[in-house]
Amino acid sequence: MPWVRLHGVKDYLDMVKILDKYPKIQQTFNLVPSLVEQIEDYTNRTVKDKFLELSYKPATELSGQEKSFILDNFFKSNTEKITATHPRYYELYLKNQKKAKFEIQDYLDLQAWFNLAWIDPYFRAEMPELTDIVNKGRFFSEEEKQVVLAKQLEILEDIIPTYKRFMNKGQIEVTISPYYHPILPLLYNIKIGKEAHPKTVLPKAQFNYPDDTKAQIKDAIQFYQSRFESLPQGMWPSEESVSEHILPLIIESGISWIVTDEAILFKSLKKKKRDTALIYQPHLLKREEGSLNIIFRDRNLSDLIGFVYDKWQAKAAVENFMQHLKNISETFKKEDILVTIAMDGENAWEYYTNDGHDFLEMLYQRLSEADFVKTTTVCEYLKTHPAELEIKRLAAGSWIYAEFSKWIGSPYKNKAWEWLAMAREELGSSKLQAPSSKLELAWKQIYIAEGSDWFWWYGENHEDFDQLFRMHLSNFYTLIGKEIPDYLKTPLNI
């Protein structure tokens, strides 16, 4: 799949580089270790996704099957906000819609434009070689296409060094998620799904692995330390999924704060009415193992950026957002409060004009000039504003309806959990005999299969995710020297 590479060149670097122009803006970024690992696979030149392989291939050498794949997949970008803003790319899109015949030059231009359009406008303007290619627009040569692909790797190579640079000058804080992005409470014990929502239908097989939960946290911290030469202070539990059960493991890991959705706060306090005075301050989770700070995002403000403002003019969106902040400031007068905006840092921008730059630049300028609001990292805020209110028991749930139905409960999702449970059980068998090198890889396959996205997409006709999930489990059985179960050889059906 190409998404790490494409989001890498579209979002991960410019989102932090833009802050060079706005030194007063402080921000917290969350990086998932498995994402960074995949970025490094690209920069180490140890992997190519299928889309990249077919991009490198000369257009004159493409087979009929490869041409069909390109026509089916190389228009996978936002049609209105990305494809249609580039005349030649849009011309090819319309030609494909009409099922008109593509010539060799059409395929070559499409190979180039698919990869070029995904590169953030910031880099298309800042890199002269890319600017020249954009201005040329069509009739690209193979050499020009190779320049586009080479620049993608250059951008990917600069991601982690740039985050380190901004960390070192104190403008950003970088947090982590558990290594392969699992839903920690479900990993700890699948029955916690029912605690979050009593009507949840559980898988037939029990899944109860606190040690895996601990490993996903521990491995993430070790990975972070190896890349950033420091220990992370904050953690974004995957999909803001939390429960009381996982707190001791997070506390023991040395993490000092976590973030989740405001709905978890009110569920924990058994409050039915939204209370912003409670949202706008950190809370303390004091347990036998130690203490952990927890902050709760303002869902309304976060969702305005994530799902609403892309349909607005940038100026109107920024004006509306700043007015919300002004209203909050006036409501709380001279109180020093923490308003947390926490959202997906990549998916929103392809729905915005100019990949969100118009909105972000205007927003950062207004925030820099405002006298009633100041941006800060969570770590910095907690140094001077320690949490005062305690939460005795943290409710189980995620950012989606304060439950886990996106990952458990449907027949497809539950069947995937059952397959994973059967594979995981093999690792506890006393009869298991496999070389330590292969056993280490087998564990990795299990940890990957514990990731959240497999279960998110099951039941929604995403064949690629089904194929990859079954591939990882099949790899696992091969590594431990066992026959691959027949059920893993065909798509998951109920």
- 233 and 371 co-located in one domain: yes
- 177 domain residue, yes or no: no
Within a 13 Å sphere around the CA of 141, how many CA atoms are in the beta-carbon half? Answer: 4
Helix (H) or strand (E) holding 297, with range, is: strand 290-297
Domain-located, residue 353: yes
Domain with 360 in it: what CATH number? 3.20.110.20
Last residue of a domain, one of 104, 131, 165: 165
> Does 260 share its domain with 304?
yes
From residue 251, alpha-carbon distances to 245, 246, 287, 289, 470 in Å are: 11, 9, 9, 7, 34
Q: How many domains does the chain have?
A: 3
Residue finishing a domain among 389, 408, 427? 408
Same-domain pairing of 13 and 96:
yes
Please, which residues have CB within 8 angstroms of residue 472's CB and are 6 or more apart in sequence?
A: 445, 448, 449
Backbone dihedral region for residue 186 (phi beyond 0: left; psi -120 to 50: alpha; all else: beta): alpha
**312 falls within a domain:** yes
The residue segments making up the domain with residue 350 are 209-408
Same domain flag for 357 and 430? no
- pTM as predicted: 0.95
Partners of 172 in the beta sheet? Answer: 27
Is 229 in the same domain as 363?
yes
Is residue 292 a part of any domain in this protein?
Answer: yes
Reported residue count of the chain is 494
Same structural domain for residues 260 and 373?
Answer: yes
Tokens of 349: 């921008």
Per-residue pLDDT of the chain in tens (494 residues, 90 and over written 9): 999 999 999 999 999 999 999 999 999 999 999 999 999 999 999 998 999 999 999 999 999 999 999 999 999 999 999 999 999 999 999 999 999 999 999 999 999 999 999 999 999 999 999 999 999 999 999 999 999 999 999 999 999 999 999 999 999 999 999 999 999 999 999 999 999 999 999 999 999 999 999 999 999 999 999 999 999 999 999 999 999 999 999 999 999 999 999 999 999 999 999 999 999 999 999 999 999 999 999 999 999 999 999 999 999 999 999 999 999 999 999 899 999 999 998 889 999 999 999 999 999 999 999 999 999 999 999 999 999 999 999 999 999 999 999 999 999 999 999 999 999 999 987 678 778 889 999 999 999 999 999 999 998 878 899 999 999 999 999 999 999 999 999 999 87
